Amino acid sequence: QKEVEQDPGPLSVPEGAIVSLNCTYSNSAFQYFMWYRQYSRKGPELLMYTYSSGNKEDGRFTAQVDKSSKYISLFIRDSQPSDSATYLCAMSFGNDMRFGAGTRLTVKP
């Protein structure tokens, strides 16, 4: 079993849809949870990070962490074609950081 599981997709939605991206993990020691967005041939850029459990909202993006279930989510409201990218979840404890495989999202106009 991988430490971090993320469905690679691809995921295709119409413009304006609500997108739900998820990751599960096995290491209960993880404390920081992050979501990165990566456009083709670019480095990942940080979207949001959360420490421990809870929700965090930033504009159209909401990150949720449920440590009891070892499950994290990223919701994108009113999705736009410019949101089309690969979304990577990441989590860390100390120097140990693990990434999900990334989910390829396409938002169609």
Partner 1 sequence: GAVVSQHPSRVICKSGTSVKIECRSLDFQATTMFWYRQFPKQSLMLMATSNEGSKATYEQGVEKDKFLINHASLTLSTLTVTSAHPEDSSFYICSARRGGFSSGANVLTFGAGSRLTVL
Q: How far is the CB of 49 from partner 1 (least distance, A)?
A: 5
- Is the Cβ of residue 2 or residue 108 nearer to partner 1 in the bound state? 2
**Spatial contact of 92 and 29, defined as CB atoms under 8 Å apart:** no
Based on CB atoms, which residue is closest to partner 1, 18 or 53?
Answer: 53
Q: How far is the CB of 6 from partner 1 (least distance, A)?
A: 8
d(CA 52, CA 31): 5
The first and second tokens of residue 71, run together, are 């499950």
Task: Identify residue 24 by its one-letter amino acid code.
Answer: T
Please state the closest distance from residue 16 (CB atom) to partner 1, in A.
Answer: 27
User: 14: which residues sit within 8 A by CB, 6+ positions away?
Assistant: 107, 108
Closest approach, Cβ 32 to partner 1, in A, equals 5
The residues that touch partner 1, with contacts defined as CB under 8 A, are 31-32, 34, 36, 41-46, 49, 88, 90, 92, 95, 97, 99-102, 104
Contact 92, 99 (CB under 8 A): no
Q: Which of 41, 50, 45 is closest to 23 using CA atoms?
A: 50
C-beta closer to partner 1: residue 88 or 105: 88
Nearer to partner 1, 19 or 91 (CB): 91
